[in-house]
Amino acid sequence: MLSDNLGIACYELGQYPKALAAYREALYYQTEAGGDPENVATTLMNLAVLETDAYTGRGKLGNPELDTIRKAALLRAQDYNEQAMRIAKAAKIKHKLISIYYQYALTLSELGDGDRALSLVEKAIRMLRLRGDAGRLAAACNNRGVIQQGLVANSGRALASYETALAYAAEANEHGILKTVLSNYMPALEQAGDGTKAEAIRRRFSNLSGG
């Protein structure tokens, strides 16, 4: 737990090398000690997110122009997500499995596997609708929009996904996911030539801190 907490703190401070080291240490000790499957799966998911954040330009550990660095980070993230998915399935931790589906989908999309990415995120959305989980539905629909924007055949559907994500985020009243959805939805609307709608939505949510 100490290594996990240190990893979270370092990640939030943008100290990516320290965060990676802390999460890897946490994973080592959890595995060696036969840790709780849910905790192990969570650490693996955190590592997957951090690998892509650290090495695709955001964390400044790798030059985003160097495709070999980016691809290696995405492949490590894929491996972590696959491990997390196997653990969650074996331990029948359904709520964790759902999160893995819509998080892993982004990695797969970055790797060029758009069909599997959409399949996983749609599976997560179906399961979340049965649970009535508005907050995570917002995150999953947002990720579906991101994936659809990257697919020529589905790019027109991204706006609908973002609109659905925004409705769920507003229902859940979670500012974090609201801001994430808006950061994707607004540029997509403007790119589609609908600046009027973008401005109306921006005004509607102008009360968000930093918005």
Q: What is the pLDDT of residues 91-103, one digit of tens each?
A: 999 999 999 999 9
pLDDT at 59: 55
CB 25 within 8 A of CB 3: yes
CA distances in angstroms from 178 to 50, 137, 192, listed in the order given: 22, 12, 21
pLDDT at 63: 60
SS3 56: coil
Whether 3 shows a pLDDT value over 70: the answer reads no
What is the spatial distance between Cα 145 and Cα 32, in angstroms, rounded to a whole number?
39
Structure tokens of 20? 């990676």
CB 98 within 8 A of CB 122: no
DSSP conformational letter for 121: H
pLDDT at 43: 94
Give long-range contacts, CB 8 A cutoff, 24+ apart: 124-128. Answer: 124/98, 124/99, 127/94, 127/98, 127/101, 128/98
pLDDT at 210: 47
What is the spatial distance between Cα 31 and Cα 117, in angstroms, rounded to a whole number?
28
**Number of residues assigned to the chain:** 211
pLDDT at 211: 42
State the residue for tokens 């849910």. 38
Whether 152 shows a pLDDT value over 90: the answer reads no
pTM over 0.85: yes
DSSP string for 144-192? HHHHHHT-TTTGGGHHHHHHHHHHHHHHHT-HHHHHHHHHHHHHHHHHT
SS3 132: coil
The CA-CA-CA angle for residues 18, 23, 28, to 5°, reads 125
